[in-house]
Amino acid sequence: MNLATVPLLVIATHAAVEQPPDPAIDFRTDVLPILQTFCHQCHYGLRTKGRLGLDSREAMLKGGRSGPAIIPGDPDGSLLIQRVTTRDPQDMMPPKDGPLWKVEIDILREWIRQGAPWPEDPDDQR
């Protein structure tokens, strides 16, 4: 990846998560920023590429064209993890800004392993 072409926002986000993930993943500070930065532009609200929304736990469990995106407790069995870790450029998510950094993938993986907890109101940023 040519860093010169990476938007500044992405660099800022990457810098913020450079530390190894804490064993206790916090949805709002660890997981949500990754989804917002790399996924929501295509999987949020009415924008459901692949018929998949990534804006609620319910939407992830329901999944898209291929079925559930996450299986709580089973990151390797979760389509979301498969699509961010694949080496096939046709399948890779996010399509253009990928692959995610390993630390980001580890956060998503650990979050799913812990059962993918999702606070009642993820838009409440207080």
Q: Which residues bind ligand HEC (CB under 6 A)?
A: 38-39, 41-43, 49-50, 52, 54, 63-66, 69, 79-80, 83-84, 91, 93-96, 100
Nearer to ligand HEC, 87 or 126 (CB): 87
**Euclidean distance between CA atoms 101 and 15, whole angstroms:** 11
The first and second tokens of residue 13, run together, are 């986000």
Q: Does residue 101 come out as left (phi exceeding 0), alpha (psi in the -120 to 50 range) or beta?
A: beta
- Minimum CB separation of residue 23 from ligand HEC in Å reads 22
Nearer to ligand HEC, 49 or 113 (CB): 49
Tell me which amino acid residue 69 is.
Answer: A
Task: Yes or no: say if 74 and 47 are a contact pair by the CB < 8 Å rule.
Answer: no
Closest CA to 27 of 70, 77, 66: 70
Q: What's the N-to-C CA distance of the chain in angstroms?
A: 35
Task: Yes or no: say if 56 and 70 are a contact pair by the CB < 8 Å rule.
Answer: no
- Minimum CB separation of residue 4 from ligand HEC in Å reads 20
- Minimum CB separation of residue 60 from ligand HEC in Å reads 9
Nearer to ligand HEC, 1 or 126 (CB): 1
Nearer to ligand HEC, 33 or 94 (CB): 94
- Minimum CB separation of residue 78 from ligand HEC in Å reads 8
